[in-house]
Amino acid sequence: MNILMLSNTFTPHVGGVARSLERFTEEYRHRGHRVIVVAPEFEGEAEHEEDVIRVPAIQNFNGSDFSVRLPIPGLVAAALEDFQPDIIHAHHPFLLGDTALILSSAQNVPLVFTHHTMYEQYTHYVPGDSPVMRRFVIDLSTGFANLCDLVFAPSESIAEVLKDRHVIVPVEVVPTGVQLQRFAKGNGRQFREQHGIPQNAYVVGHLGRLAPEKNLEFLGRAVAEFCMKNKNAHFLLIGVGPSEKKIRQYFQKLGLSDHLHVAGLLQGQAIADAYHAMDVFAFASKSETQGMVLTEAMAAGKPVVALDAPGVREVVQDEDNGRLLDNENLEDFVSALGWTASLPEDRAKIMKKNIQLTAESYSLERCASKALCLYESLLAKETGQRDTENSMWDKALRMLEMEWDIWVNRAHAAGAALNATEPTPPPSK
């Protein structure tokens, strides 16, 4: 198959969507499919990238680590002149999502959308953030989904949310798989040595963007309290972002600065080594759609302590492969970390086996196979229509109709937000 992917984030950006796109793309290419990725320019991107089309973008939009593409009409279409996609797959509903809709309509190619993100939880990066803005974002992303042929939800929780929001096109659960072999082996001892972590320390770890929507301030306080009660405990933090400052302040205030180890951004084998340097993975985000870092940690054999949230509850089973806490309570989180640290040897062995089974159930091979089967099913349904509606006139009409649908969707979202009504079914394809 020829597969066209469009995303507002891609390598070297560090984040869930970029990593998901990179994993699926590599696996599809490994199986003989051709994949072209369209994404914004990012600082530090590779000089030569095979089958990647970069579009000009504003970097670090409004203080975030995201880029926003600049609207240059015709740029993507021109770059794809010799590529005939069988499937177009959008990974965001905004910006390049519009481009995906237009290309799908013009070429009469099925359009798939992965709803990676709860977008309303990221509106603090947009000037004028308000409940109205969050409502607008929900309606706009829902409307976009209904202009597609198929929606991938990264977890069962998100599939239910989308259906509750009146997404009426088919929704299939397709998590981002974990590369088991990549994370199964790592040199945790060497990593500890490189970062000044005692070999006999009990290490609580976390990996991800250190940003407010990840609830890092709560996590920092909880782990700092745990370190206060357990002098042998240390906190290993992988990533960069504005929340790092607050976490450092918590540890400094408690006189625990030497128990905090911030390793920044890591690439390649260093990420696996970092997981293997941990004893437990701690996670407090409630804005996730899937637990990518959770399955990575489990592929490295580590239990997880996390707050119950969509995308998390599918991975973490309380007292089975970690601890899943119902409420955001500091004392409970500290206690759960202590429970994990003090497990008897026989219980620890059972948990380790459960962790391995969980990781295997989220293997990249399994998830990619499901996605490809869904692509093929969609193509089988669409083949007849493409054969009968292939004239230049029909292509032009479809493009004009899709342009209109895009603006109707925007108007619907804006009107519903301003009227502050309950969500209503947005326009469907």
Rounded to whole angstroms, the Cα distance separating 270 from 249 reads 26
Least confident of 14-23, 161-170, 205-214, 348-357: 14-23
Place of tokens 């205030």: 253
Separation of alpha carbons 274 and 27, rounded Å:
24
% pLDDT > 70, the chain = 79
**Per-residue pLDDT band at 424 (split at 50, 70, 90):** low
pLDDT of 421 above 60: no
User: What are φ and ψ of residue 317, in 5° steps?
Assistant: -110, 120
Using a pLDDT cut of 90, give the percent of the chain over it: 58
User: Identical fold at 2-177+364-419 and 180-361?
Assistant: yes
Q: Per-residue pLDDT tens for 244-289?
A: 999 999 999 999 999 999 999 898 899 999 999 999 999 999 877 7
For residue 142, the model assigns a pLDDT of 87
Question: Does position 215 have pLDDT exceeding 60, yes or no?
Answer: yes
How far CA 353 is from CA of 147, 356, 358, 373, in Å, comes to 43, 5, 9, 30
Give me the pLDDT at residue 45, please: 67
Asked if residue 410 has pLDDT above 90, the reply is no
- DSSP annotation of 290 reads S
Architecture of domain 2-177+364-419: 3-Layer(aba) Sandwich (3.40)
What is the structure's pLDDT at 213?
A: 83
Mean pLDDT computed over 167-177: 94
Query: SS3 for 34?
Result: strand
The predicted model gives 155-184 an average pLDDT of 93
Domain-wise residue ranges, the chain: 2-177+364-419, 180-361
Average pLDDT along the chain = 85
Residue 304 CA to its chain's centroid (Å) = 18
How does residue 123 score in pLDDT terms, banded at 50, 70 and 90?
very low
Q: CA–CA separation, 310 vs 162, rounded Å?
A: 12
- The C-alpha angle with vertex 418 and arms to 415 and 421, in degrees rounded to 5, equals 85
The confidence band for 211, taking pLDDT boundaries of 50, 70 and 90, is: confident
Q: Report yes or no: 33 and 2 within 8 Å, Cβ to Cβ.
A: yes
Six-digit token string for 48: 């030569």
pLDDT at 3: 97
Among 130-139, 202-211, 387-396, 411-420, top mean pLDDT goes to 202-211
Mean pLDDT of 131-150: 82
Sheet holding 52-55: strands in order across?
A: 52-55, 34-40, 2-6, 87-90, 111-114, 150-153, 171-173
- Stretch 1-22: mean pLDDT: 84
Q: What is the mean pLDDT of residues 57-65?
A: 50
Supply the pLDDT for residue 40. 84
* 56 to 19, 41, 70, 128, 389: CA distances (angstroms): 21, 6, 6, 25, 33
What pLDDT was estimated at residue 62? Answer: 46
Contact by Cβ (8 Å): 298, 315: yes
Lowest mean pLDDT across 202-211, 342-351, 406-415:
406-415
- Least confident residue range of 11-20, 63-72, 367-376: 63-72
- What local confidence, expressed as pLDDT, does residue 120 receive? 53
Per DSSP, what are the bridge partners of residue 4?
36, 88
State the average pLDDT over residues 154-173.
92
Q: What is the pLDDT at residue 172?
A: 97
CATH of domain 180-361: 3.40.50.2000
Of the candidates 220, 280, 286, the one whose C-alpha atom is nearest the C-alpha of residue 254 is 220
3-state secondary structure of 73: coil
pLDDT confidence of residue 125: 46
Nearest-CA neighbor of 87 among 100, 71, 68? 100
Q: Which residue has the tokens 């409420």?
A: 327
What is each CA distance from 225 to 36, 49, 234, 235, in whole angstroms? 47, 45, 11, 11
Backbone phi, psi, residue 3, to 5°: -120, 125
Burial class of residue 181 (count of CB atoms within 10 Å of its CB; 0-12, 13-18, 19+) = exposed
Angle among Cα 176, 177, 180 to the nearest 5 degrees reads 150
Beta strands in 60-175 (DSSP E): 68-69, 87-90, 111-114, 150-153, 171-173
What letter does residue 94 receive in the DSSP assignment?
A: S
Tell which wins on pLDDT, 267 or 405. 267
Q: Looking at 84-98, 149-163, 379-393, which range is the least confident one?
A: 379-393
User: What DSSP element (H or E) covers 156?
Assistant: helix 156-164
| Mean pLDDT score, 228-237 | 97
Give ∠ CA 189-354-311 in degrees, rounded to 5.
95
Residue-wise pLDDT tens digits, 362-394: 999 999 999 999 999 999 985 444 343 444 445
What Cα–Cα distance (Å) separates residue 239 from each residue in 225, 253, 354? 21, 22, 28
**Cα Rg for the chain, rounded, in angstroms?**
22
Model pLDDT, residue 209: 84
Query: Is 329 or 131 the better-scoring residue by pLDDT?
Result: 329
Bigger pLDDT: 46 vs 346: 346
Of 289 and 336, the structure prediction assigns the larger pLDDT to: 336
Spell out where 77-179 has E strands. 87-90, 111-114, 150-153, 171-173
The burial class, CB within 10 Å (0-12 / 13-18 / 19+), for 8 is buried
Name the helix (H) or strand (E) containing 270: helix 269-277
Whole-model pTM above 0.85?
no
Q: Above 90 in pLDDT, residue 415?
A: no
The strand ranges marked E within 68-157 are 68-69, 87-90, 111-114, 150-153
Q: Judge whether residue 11 has pLDDT over 90.
A: no
pLDDT for residue 75 is more than 90? no
Task: Give the per-residue pLDDT at 149.
Answer: 94
The CA-atom distances, in angstroms, between 253 and each of 62, 249, 326 are: 30, 6, 28
pLDDT at residue 345 in the model: 94
